[in-house]
Amino acid sequence: MNEALPQEIRGVLITVTGGRLLLPNASVSEVITMSNPEPVENAPAWLLGRVSWRGWHVPLVSFPGMVGWEQTEGELHSRVAIIKALGGNPRMPFIAMLTQGFPRLTALSPDVVVPDASEEALPEGISAQVMVRDDQAYIPDLALIEARVSEVLAAA
C-alpha cells in the first residue's frame, strides 16, 4: 500500500545566544526552568553540568559555547530543553540544552524551510543553516553533540 508522506512536520525553534536552532518537535521531550546544574569535573566550559529531570541526571550543554559563539547564557529567562539522544546509550537517553525563553512551535514544509545559500563555513556542531519563513535558523548536529558529551563524561 502506497501511503503519502506527510506534507508538513512540526518543528521547534529554540533561541540560544547567537541564533535560533531548528529541531523536530518529536526530539524535544520537555522545556523546564533553569536550575543550578551539578558540576562535571574537568568538563569544558560548554558542558555546564548536569540537571535533574524525572530521575535522570541530564548533561546540560551550552550550544553557543560548543560551536564557538559567545557564551552568555544563564541570564534571566533561561530555560532548559530536554532533548532525546539519538545514540541509543541507555546511560544517556537525553541531553539538555540551555535556551533563552520558550521554544516556538512551527509547521514545516518544503516551501517554508529554505537552505541558506551563503558561502559561510559552518562551525562543527551545525549541520545546516536554513531560513524558516523570515527567521534564520541552524540545524544542530545532534549526533556530534551527543558524541562530544559522551566523550567528556567518560573522561570525568
Domains and CATH numbers, the chain: 12-107+123-139 (2.40.50.180)
* pLDDT class of 96 with cuts at 50, 70, 90: very high
According to DSSP, the residues that pair with 115 across neighbouring strands are 130
What whole-number distance in Å separates Cα of residue 35 and Cα of residue 62? Answer: 14
Reference 85, options 98, 76, 94; nearest CA is 94
- 34-91 pLDDT per residue, tens: 888 999 999 999 999 999 999 999 999 999 999 988 766 555 578 999 999 988 888 8
Q: What is the pLDDT of residue 3?
A: 64
Place of cell 544563564: 74
